[in-house]
Amino acid sequence: MIIATDWVRLLVVCVIFTAAAGAIAWSTGLTSPRPFVKAAARAVLQLAAVSAVITFVLTHLSLTGVFLVVMATVAVATSAKRTGTGRRGAWVAAPILVGTVPALGLLVTTGLLPIEGIALIPVGGILIGGAMTATTLSARRALDTLDERHGEYEAALALGFVEPAAARFLVRQPAAEALLPPLDQTRTVGLVTLPGAFVGMLLGGAPVWQAGALQIVVLLGLLAVEAAAVTTVVELVARGVIRRASQEEEVRLT
């Protein structure tokens, strides 16, 4: 049981970490402290809200489904904002869901993941979060590349490439950099990191082998989900479905 002094220490440490992140970013010219303060405040409020309802949600399968939909919706909105795609931002739902839904379906149909909120919500959250990150990073890199190498894009068109092929040729490798974090996480699991699913099961009293087996499944599932997300992003960017407002204006002018 957490006593008052524990809460004080917790608060102090959280404030120190947030202040340190903001101070380092500000003093080195990376960004202002504001994003760190906002992120920390949102994390506290959101986790407090989730903690208040999670027990009830976990005992009702229908509410578990609703909760997963909310998670996916927030992921799409976050990725759309980060990629600056404006009204086309809804299209980022495709890369986020294209791998996540089949992966969850496979885990459920094979019996590795019970149809219970206590299992579906954390694993679903991990997969959705991974797909969101891969989508955001790959879309930003792909769209930045189209801006930075627009001359090469036009040169490819002059050589006879159709527009999707010319764009795909340029953005494929930059977008693939979004796969480096999940690849490194998988390669170094147990040596550098002990991911949440593994630690959570151990703390819950599960045997070590069972916790390790579940973590392997989750990590490999993440690789598949994120590879599908990046591939979908490349295709949507190449076909002009995902674009920034400034890029749409350039297309109209040309």
Higher local confidence (pLDDT), 199 or 99: 99
pLDDT tens, position by position, 54-77: 778 877 888 889 999 999 999 999
Q: What predicted TM-score, i.e. pTM, was given to this entire model?
A: 0.82
Report in angstroms the alpha-carbon separations of 20 from 31, 103, 178, 186, 253: 13, 38, 27, 29, 46
Q: What is the pLDDT of residues 25-54, one digit of tens each?
A: 999 999 999 999 999 999 989 888 887 787
Q: Where are the domains of the chain?
A: 1-58, 60-253
Percent of the chain whose pLDDT exceeds 90: 48
pLDDT at residue 253, rounded to an integer: 47
What is the model's pLDDT at position 49? Answer: 84
The pLDDT score that the predictor gives to residue 189 is 81
- Which of 67-81, 94-108, 156-170, 219-233 shows the lowest per-residue confidence on average (mean pLDDT)? 156-170
**What pLDDT shows up at residue 102?**
96
CA 58 to CA 118: how far, in whole Å? 6
Q: Which of 228, 237, 236, 238 is nearest to 98 (CA)?
A: 228
101: burial class by Cβ within 10 Å (0-12, 13-18, 19+)? middle
Query: Of 4 and 78, which is predicted with more confidence?
Result: 78
Least confident of 87-96, 114-123, 191-200: 191-200
SS (H, E, C) 90-120: HHHHHHHHHHHHHHHHHHHHCCCCCCCHHHH
Report the pLDDT value the prediction gives residue 150, as an integer from 0 to 100.
Answer: 80
What letters, b where the CB count within 10 A reaches 16 and e where it falls short, cover 123-152? bbbbbbbbbbbbbbbbbbbbbebbeeeeee
Q: How far apart are CA 10 and CA 139, in angstroms?
A: 37
pLDDT recorded at residue 197:
63
3-class DSSP state of 193 = strand
Q: Nearest CA to 50 among 33, 65, 79, 70? A: 70
If you average pLDDT over residues 238-242, what whole number do you get? Answer: 90
Q: Token pair of 63, please? A: 């509410």
Which band of pLDDT confidence, cut at 50, 70 and 90, is reported for residue 80?
Answer: very high
pLDDT of residue 202 exceeding 60, the answer is no
At 203-230, the pLDDT tens digits run: 566 666 666 777 788 889 999 999 999 9
Q: How many CB atoms lie within 10 A of CB 111?
A: 8
